Amino acid sequence: MPPDNLIDGRAIAEQIHGETARRITALRARGVRPGLAFVRVGEDPASKVYVGMKERMSGRLGIESATHVLPEATPQAAVLELVGQLNANPAVHGILVQAPLPRHIDATVIFSTVDPRKDVDGFHPLNVGKLMLGDPTGFVPCTPAGIHELLIRTGVRIAGAEVVVLGRGNIVGKPMAAILLQKAKHADATVTLCHSRTRDIAGHCRRADIVIAAMGVAEFVKSPMIKPGATVIDVGVNRVADPAAKGGARLVGDVAFAEVQPVASRITPNPGGVGPMTIAMLMHNTVRAAEMAAGIIA
């Protein structure tokens, strides 16, 4: 396929940011300033980068953001106390606790403590349950929500499609499957969820119209695994050794891009595909939370 089969996540994210900015303007006209709080525990390098990117986009769009950085050794009780304070703060409409958390902190407990009305990451059990039930009043995790928008806005047919999701994680794999199998517009797909114990993953992939790779295995998806004309979405971010690269390593996705691109009808680059969409949907969710708090939407 020619190089114009790239799905430009940056461009589509900019479309969504434009829509979000207009909603922020409408909120400010009502005296509402959307607020987003970040909680980061420890000094994980990737977490620092991710939170920084989200902070910058918040500032660009006019969302009031504040980052709370706690030392690596912070007890779980102290993290819960901070989350409770943010829950009670009416100026904070969205709360994001950056993963990964230190090993001594139970992420499930932390995510379950965030007020579900401020859970813009979509990890609270109430929002997870709403997604499974097809209830649109909950918040959907940002990465699968962003992938869904990529498919919709590039005209990929979802209804009736065979979709293979590689990876069964709670952040991408499971919610992605739930979104696409709903009896709803831009859904109605037949979804196969593959994981490390799946037999013949390649066989499953070869029959798929859409492959979404979120396994966290560098360049796992090779060209023989892809049906000609399929759409391929690469979620993975993996560091691999490369003596020629700065720092001796480079980042690659879960898809062997160079060999898969000629086979696919559409494919996301990495970077520049899914990543920008995750941030776009976080901003979208935050503004929606502010609209809900203001009684503009239910």
Q: What's the rounded Cα separation, in Å, for the pair 132 and 126?
A: 10
- Coil/strand/helix, residue 115: coil
> 154 and 146 in contact (C-beta within 8 Å)?
no
Which of 214-251 are b and which e, b meaning 16 or more Cβ less than 10 Å from the residue's Cβ?
A: bbeebbbbeeebbeeebbbbbbbbbeeeeeeeeeeeee
- Coil/strand/helix, residue 128: helix
Q: What's the rounded Cα separation, in Å, for the pair 294 and 298?
A: 9
Note the maximum CA span of the chain: 56
- What positions carry a catalytic annotation? 54, 98, 121
Long-range contacts of 278-281 (CB under 8 A, 24+ apart): 278/142, 278/143, 278/146, 279/13, 279/53, 279/54, 279/57, 279/142, 280/12, 280/13, 280/16, 280/17, 280/20, 280/146, 280/149, 281/16, 281/140, 281/142, 281/143, 281/145, 281/146, 281/149
Q: What's the rounded Cα separation, in Å, for the pair 43 and 226?
A: 39
Q: What's the rounded Cα separation, in Å, for the pair 208 and 223?
A: 13
